[in-house]
Amino acid sequence: MKSISPTWLLGGWFAAVAVIIAWPWTRGSRRAVLLFVIGVAPAVVMVLIGAGAAPSPTVAEILQSVHAKDGRS
C-alpha cells in the first residue's frame, strides 16, 4: 500500500465513482445525484484531512515532549 500515491488513489476513486454514476445517469434516474454525493464525500474528506498536513505525532513523541517540558526524569 505504500507504493500507491495519494494522487493515484484519489484518481482511482473518482474513476470508480464516475463509472458507478454513469449507469443510472444514462437511465435518467434521480438517484445518480445522490450516488455522486455519497461517492465523492470520502475523497473530499481525504483531501481536506491530508492537504498540507504534517504527519500526526506518535505516542512516543507526545510522551517525550511532556517529559522534556516537565523536567522530571
Per-residue pLDDT tens digits for 13-55: 888 888 887 877 777 777 777 777 888 888 788 777 776 667 7
pTM of the full predicted structure?
Answer: 0.46
State the DSSP H helix or E strand holding residue 1, giving kind and residue range, or none if neither: none
Q: DSSP 3-state assignment of 71?
A: coil
pLDDT of residue 2: 62
pLDDT of residue 51: 65
Q: Which three cell numbers stand for residue 19?
A: 463509472
Q: Binning pLDDT at 50, 70 and 90, where does residue 7 land?
A: confident
